[in-house]
Chain A
Amino acid sequence: MSWFLRAYAERRTWRAVAYLLLGLPLGVLGFVVLVTGISLGLGLLVTLLGIPVLVVTVLVARTLASFERRLAWSLLDAPMPSGGRVPDEPERGLWRRLRAMLTGRRTWWELGFLLLRFPLGLLDFLVVTTIAALAFSGLVQPILVAAGVHSEIGGWTIDTFWESLVLVPVSVVFLVAGPRLVLGWARIPAWFATTMLGRLDQGDVKRAVVRTLARTGEADGFRLLDELELQFGRGPFLNPTRVEAALLALESTGHVVGHRDGGRILYALA
C-alpha cells in the first residue's frame, strides 16, 4: 500500500503526468506543422517555391523533434545520446549541410516521430485524464447528489445518497493505484521517444571510434565502449554490437587494424 502511495511524493510521477498531458497539444502542433508544410511544399513544387517550403518544414520539424528529445529526457528520463554529432567531418557550405540533413536517417526518424506523436500523444492524454476522472468521479458523487445534481451512467441515474456511494470503491482503487498506473504507462512513450529520437548514426559511432583511437593509440572493444558511453551516455543507442559493427566496418575500409592480445583484440588506427 505504501508503495502505491509513495508515488504521490515522487517528482517523477508529476513529471510523467506533465509529459503525458503535453502529448496532446504538442502532438497536434507537430502534426499540423508537418502535414501543412509537406502538402504545401509538394503542391508548390512545380513553381520551385515548394523547395524552400519543404526545407523550412524539415528545419522546423527538426527543431520540434529536438525539443521533444529534451522533453522526453528531462520529464521521462528517456535515454538520449548526448553530445550530438561528432565534429570530425563538418559539412561545409549550405548545400552540403542541407543534403546531409535531408539524407540523414535521423531526420526521417524525427519526421516519423512527429507524425506518430499526434495519435500516441492523444492516447497519453486520454490515459491520464481517464485515470484522474476515475479517481475523482466516485468521490464527488455524494457531493453532487447532496447538491441536487443527478449523474447518469448508461441508463442508471444516481439520485440517492446510497447510490452515490457505489462508485466510491472504484475511485479509491484508482486514487491509490493511479500514480503507479501513470508511471507504468509513461514507460511506453519513454521507450517510443528513445527508439525514434534517441538514435545515433553509425557514422557518428565510427567517427567517435576513430577519435578515441587517435587519442588512446590502442584500445580493445571494452575500452572503446566505455569511452563512447562517456561521450554519448548510456542507452539502447549504444551497445557492444554497434561498437563491434563500427570496428568491423573500419577494419574493412582499412582505417583500423586489430591484433590479438590474449583473449582480446586490440585496435589501432592504420
Chain B
Amino acid sequence: MDEFGELALREREARRIARRQWFWLHFAVYATTQVFLIVIWALSSSSYPWFVFPLFGWGILIAAHAVYAFVVRDPEEILVERAARGTAGTAERDESER
C-alpha cells in the first residue's frame, strides 16, 4: 500500500467511526424519548399502551440506521479492501517481483 492508499484507509476508518457515532447518538435520543413516553404512560390513567407506536415506528428507523452504520458499505470500499487483501495492483506486483 502506498501513501495514498494509507490516506484512503484512514479516511474510510474515519467515515466508519463517524457513522457509528451518529448511530449511537441517534440510539441515545431514541432510548431517552421512549423511556420518557413509557413513564408518561405509566403515570397517566391510560390503560391503552399507546407508547408502542413510537417505540416500533421509530424502532424501524433505528434498525435501518444500525444496518447503515454497521453493515452497509460502499461498493468502492469493498473493491479497495478486497484488492488490499488479495489481488494487488500492478505497482504492488512489480514491487513484489523485485
B94 touches A240 (CB 8 A): no
CB pair A220–B4 under 8 Å, yes or no, is yes
Assess A241 versus B80: contact at CB under 8 Å? Given A221-B2, A265-B2: yes
When A221-B5, A263-B2, A263-B3 are in contact, do A244 and B80 touch as well, CB less than 8 Å?
yes
Task: Tell me the chain B residues, 23-82 only, with Cβ under 8 Å from chain A.
Answer: 74-77, 79-80
Using Cβ atoms and an 8 Å threshold, which residues of chain B touch A264?
2-4
1/0 contact trace for A253-266 toward B, CB 8 Å?
00001111001110
8 Å CB contact of A248 from B3, B11, B79, B94: B79
Residues in A with CB closer than 8 Å to B8 are 221, 239-241, 243-244
B11 and A241 within 8 A (CB) = yes
Q: How far is the CA of A48 from the CA of B91 in the complex (A)?
A: 53
Instruction: Tell whether, in the assembled complex, residue B89 and residue A221 are in contact, meaning their CB atoms are under 8 Å apart.
Output: no
Given the known inter-chain contacts A222-B4, A240-B8, A264-B4, please indicate yes or no for A245 contacting B80, CB distance below 8 A. yes
B7 surroundings in chain A (CB, below 8 A):
221-222, 240
Secondary structure at the B interface, as helix, strand, loop or mixed, is helix
A41–chain B nearest beta-carbon distance, Å = 29
Q: Which of B4, B75, B90, B94 contacts A244 (CB 8 A)?
A: B4
A243, B11: Cα distance in complex, Å: 12
Chain A interface, DSSP helix/strand/loop, else mixed: helix
Please give, as numbers and ranges, the residues of chain A lying within 8 Å of B91 by CB-CB distance: 258-260, 265
Counting CB contacts under 8 A, is A251 at the interface? yes
Which residues does chain A contribute within 8 Å of B15, judged by CB atoms? 239
> Which residues from chain A contact B77 at a C-beta distance below 8 Å?
241, 245
List A contacts of B94 (CB < 8 A): 259-260
Is A247 close to B, CB under 8 A? Answer: yes
Most buried by B among A221, A240, A242, A258: A240
Within 8 Å by CB of B11, from A202, A239, A246, lies A239
Residues of A within 8 A of B74 (CB): 241
CB-CB under 8 A from A265, the residues of chain B are 2, 4-5, 89, 91
CA of A77 to CA of B3 in the docked complex: distance in angstroms?
31
CB-based contact B76/A202 at 8 Å: yes
Interface string of A219-239 (1 = CB under 8 A from B): 011100100000000000001
Residues of B within 8 A of A (CB): 2-5, 7-8, 11-12, 15, 74-77, 79-80, 83, 89-91, 94-95
Q: What 5 new A-B contacts, CB under 8 Å, besides A240-B4, A259-B90?
A: A239-B11, A244-B4, A248-B79, A251-B90, A260-B94
Which 10 residue pairs of A and B lie closest in terms of their CB atoms, listed nearest first? A221-B4, A245-B76, A240-B8, A258-B91, A265-B91, A265-B2, A251-B89, A244-B8, A263-B3, A241-B8
Binding site for B on A (CB under 8 A): 202, 220-222, 225, 239-249, 251-252, 257-260, 263-265
